[in-house]
Amino acid sequence: ASAIALRNLHKRFGRDAVALDGVDLDIHAGEFFTLLGPSGCGKTTLLRILAGLEAPNEGSLTIGGKDVTTTPPHLRSVNTVFQSYALFPHLSVHDNIAFGLRMKGVAAAERERRVQEIADFIKLGALMERRVNQLSGGQRQRVALARALVCEPDVLLLDEPLSALDAGLRNQLQVELQRTQKRLGMTFVFVTHDQEEAMVMSDRIAVLDGGVIQQVGPPQTVYEHPINAFVARFMGHVNLFEIDSVSGDRVTTALGQLRLEQPLAEHERHGMLLIRQEVIELGPEVPEGYNALEGVVRERLYRGSRVEYRLEVDGVVLLATASNLGQRLHAVGDRVTVSICPEDIVRLDA
Ligand code: ADP
Ligand code: MG
């Protein structure tokens, strides 16, 4: 079932600023769906259109099968958590969480039950009588989340809710948020510019650039099979090489000739090859059927759990990541044999 369907959405601000340029998207019920893209790509605009805070210039949107393109915000079964928490600083945690239910006229006993349930869920129990202005950033973020969840909307919209938090707390809340979404079975539309955060939390990711959706898919697909250079770079890839010429299953790039798993189709003979950092193996043995290149280590970044090498192959830079599982470290200046499995080379559009 499609919780949300967006059709041909366009949004312009003034004459020149195109925020969304024809967005088509289906978000499934019960899905943790993430809009991922750089600053200014249209993520917040899309979320605000879903919330009803902004109207599209063109296109339509349905939520739960109902066309809500012109429905005002309070009549949509949608709640929003913004990056700025928008809490009432002088009210207690309890009263902040209860606020929405009070506005809806939910009876006191029922209200208390639901507030308590959510508070336990998000581990706010001990803080209920504190005022919000006595809380840390992470605690406020939890309250904002509880306040949105307690109303049990079908859809929860979250606009970079974790970006103001430090790394440790952020990782912890990523896990909690994902667990909460699964347990309550709600549909989450989550916005972030951080590709790791998107991958860790989402069932599916939509990558946006310039108001256009570039690719939609599960994290592993978007990461391992990006469809173009923009998506590849945004997902953190660096080893992208333009295709110079093709002969059967052999492709020549600046890196030299590489054998692919199978010959490229006619329409695939232009574009780029992607070699993920972590699929590169560093000698001395070359596994059967692998491509072998000779390189020199120019830089080594020791990151504890893994080691990153900047290699030079035929005057071209190639980055390789090795897991640090008792492997011998290569030193700067070492000559190394680079092995690449044909299956691990991905062709994509420029
Ligand atoms: P993101 O959330 O991905 O950073 P936004 O949706 O906020 O991107 O913005 C997309 C584009 O629309 C940007 O170029 C931004 O400057 C423009 N924009 C957004 N809101 C407004 C507005 N209220 N008035 C004018 N331009 C806007
Ligand atoms: Mg934004």
**For all residues of the chain together, what is the average pLDDT?**
93
Overall size of the chain counted in residues: 350
Q: Whose CA is nearest to atom 14 of ligand 1?
A: 40
User: Which pLDDT score is estimated for 2?
Assistant: 65
Return the ligand 1 atom nearest residue 160 CA.
2
Residue nearest to atom 1 of ligand 1 (CA): 40
Among 44, 47, 50, 54, which residue has the most ligand 1 atoms within 8 Å of its CB, making it the best to mutate? 44
Per cent of the chain over pLDDT 70 is 98
For residue 20, report the distance from its CA to the centre of ligand 1, in Å: 9
Which numbered ligand comes closest to the C-alpha of 160?
A: 2
167 or 61, higher pLDDT: 61
Cα(280) to ligand 1 centroid in Å equals 39
Nearest CA to ligand 1 atom 5: 42
What tokens appear for 334 in the block? 């070492």
In this prediction, residues 295-307 reach a mean pLDDT of: 95
- The answer for 219, left when phi > 0, alpha when psi is -120 to 50, beta otherwise, is alpha
Alpha carbon nearest to ligand 1 atom 12, residue: 19
Band (57; pLDDT cuts 50, 70, 90): very high
Taking each helix axis from N to C end, the angle separating 137-149 and 108-121, rounded to the nearest 10 degrees, works out to 130
Q: What is the pLDDT of residues 320-348, one digit of tens each?
A: 999 877 778 999 999 999 999 999 999 99
**Terminal CA-CA length for the chain:** 34
Q: Which protein residue's CA is at the shortest distance from atom 22 of ligand 1?
A: 13
State the Cα–Cα distance between residues 226 and 39, nearest whole angstrom: 20
* Over residues 225-229, mean pLDDT: 97
Residue 284: asked if its preceding bond is cis (omega within 30°), the reply is yes
d(CA 21, CA 23): 6
Residues 187, 31 contacting (CB under 8 angstroms):
yes
Nearest to 88 by CA among 133, 135, 146, 145: 133
Measuring CA to CA, how many Å separate 206 from each of 34, 170, 187, 196, 340?
A: 6, 21, 15, 14, 29
Which of 272, 261, 245 is closest to 341 using CA atoms?
261
Among candidates 222, 162, 155, which has minimal Cα distance to 189? 155
| Helix-, strand-, coil-residue percentages of the chain, each rounded to 5 | 30, 35, 35
With beta carbons less than 8 A apart as the criterion, state whether 127 and 163 touch.
no
Element (H or E) spanning 204, and its range? Answer: strand 204-209
**Residue 154 confidence (pLDDT):** 87
Residue nearest to atom 20 of ligand 1 (CA): 45
Residue pLDDT, tens place only, 73-122: 989 888 888 766 678 989 999 999 999 899 889 999 999 999 998 888 78
Residue 244 pLDDT > 80, yes or no?
yes
What mean pLDDT comes out for the span 192-197? 96
pLDDT of residue 262 exceeding 70, the answer is yes
Atom number, ligand 1, closest to the C-alpha of residue 46: 6
Three-state SS at 306 = strand
Q: Whose CA is nearest to atom 23 of ligand 1?
A: 13
Tokens of 266: 């006619």
Question: Which of 69, 72, 74, 66 has its CA nearest to residue 58?
Answer: 69
Confidence band of 142 (pLDDT split at 50, 70, 90): confident
Could you give the 3-state DSSP secondary structure of residue 271? coil
Q: Which ligand is nearest to the CA of 211?
A: 1
Segment 47-73 shows an average pLDDT of 95
Say how many C-beta atoms besides its own lie within 10 A of residue 289's C-beta: 11
169 alpha carbon – ligand 1 mean position (Å): 28
> What residues are in contact with ligand 1 under a 6 Å CB criterion?
13, 17, 19, 37, 39-45
Ligand 2 center from residue 55 Cα (angstroms): 16
Split at pLDDT 50, 70, 90, the class of 16 is confident
Residue 237 confidence class, pLDDT cut points 50, 70, 90: very high
Type of residue numbered 139? Q
Give the pLDDT confidence score for residue 97 in this predicted structure: 94
Q: Token pair 């695939």 is at which residue?
A: 268
> What is the C-alpha to C-alpha distance for residues 10 and 303, in angstroms, rounded to an integer?
44
What is residue 84's predicted lDDT score, i.e. its pLDDT? 67
Q: Which is the closest atom of ligand 1 to the Cα of 211?
A: 10
Looking at residues 274-300, what average pLDDT do you find?
Answer: 95
Q: Which amino acid is at 276?
A: R
CA 43 to chain centre: 11
Q: What is the pLDDT of residue 275?
A: 98
- How far apart (Å, rounded) are the C-alpha atoms in residues 183 and 118? 12
Distance from the alpha carbon of residue 35 to the mean position of ligand 1, in angstroms = 15
Q: Residue 341: its pLDDT value, please?
A: 97
223 Cα–ligand 2 center, Å: 22
pLDDT for the residue 295? 96
Helix (H, G, I), strand (E, B) or coil at 22: strand
**CA 117 to centroid of ligand 2, rounded, Å:** 31
Does the predicted interface ipTM exceed a cut of 0.90?
yes
Q: Ligand 1 centre and the CA of 52: distance in Å?
A: 16
Which ligand 1 atom is at minimum distance from the Cα of 11?
A: 12
